Structure 1
Amino acid sequence: MKMIMAVIRPEKFDAVKQALADKGYFGMTVTEVSGRGEQRGVCLQYRGKPIHVDVIQKTEIQLTTCDEKADEVIDIIRTTACSGRIGDGRIFVVPVEKAITIRTGEVFY
């Protein structure tokens, strides 16, 4: 089993969520996060004056899937979230030893 964590542009979230749902992937945890990467922030105009914002708002999606479906999920997220500009985000993939459903105690390996 794999946990896929994707940090994407907030404006891409609805499209990514729909693309995953279209392929049968519905369960996910979504968190609003902020951070900075290679772009080291952005320069914006506020009331005619430039301001530097060094942390950028992003959306993090976490979901787990079986090893066999991980590449498909990664491809869906990558192609849907890509704008071709710096700051599109990152996808992290980590192994999951097991997952337990709290209500039933069911264990997934």
Structure 2
Amino acid sequence: MKLVTAVIKPFKLDDVREALSEIGVQGITVTEVKGFGRQKGHTELYRGAEYVVDFLPKVKLEIAIDDSLTEKVIEAVSKAANTGKIGDGKIFVTSLEQIVRIRTGETGADAV
């Protein structure tokens, strides 16, 4: 089992969700987050005053999947979230030791 965590631009969320649905991913967790990488924020003008936006709005997706889907999920997220510009995001893959569905007590792949 793997946990794929992707941090993407907010306006790409629907595209990524559709791409994941097409390859059979049944569920994702979405969190609105803020952060920066190489972009290091930007300067904005508001009511004549200039200020620096250090943390940019992003969306974090968490997807628990069977090992066999890992490459498909990475490819789907990469293609759907890509704009070709700085700040497109990152994908992290970590191993899951155990998953338990609270309602039924199912474990492992059955719980996903």
Task: State the TM-score, normalized to the length of structure 2.
Answer: 0.91
Aligned to 1:33: 33
Distance 2:42 2:24 in 1: 36
Instruction: Structure 1 unaligned segments of length 5 or more: list them.
Output: none
The Cα shift of 1:23 comes to 1.8
Give deviations 1:68-98, integer Å, cap 9, x for gaps: 1101000000111011111111100000011
Count of residues in correspondence between the two structures: 109
Aligned to 1:63: 63
The 1-side partners of 2:22 and 2:48 are apart by 43
The 5-angstrom pairing of residues 1-109 of structure 1 reads: 1-108=1-108
Structure 2's unaligned 5+ residue stretches are none
Q: What is the letter of the counterpart of residue 6 of structure 2?
A: A
Per the normalisation by structure 1, the TM-score is: 0.93
| Cα separation, 2, equivalents of 1:26 and 1:106 | 16
Seq. identity, %: 42
**Structure that is richer in strand per residue:** 1
Q: Secondary structure at the match of 1:105?
A: coil
Q: For residue 3 of structure 1, report the CA deviation from its aligned partner.
A: 0.2
C-alpha distance in 2 between matches for 1:51 and 1:73: 38
CA distance in 2, matches of 1:17, 1:73: 11
- Per the TM alignment, residue 45 of structure 1 is displaced from its structure 2 partner at its CA by 2.7
1:31-86 per-position Cα deviation (integer Å, ceiling 9, x unaligned): 00001111110122323443210000100000111111101000000111011111
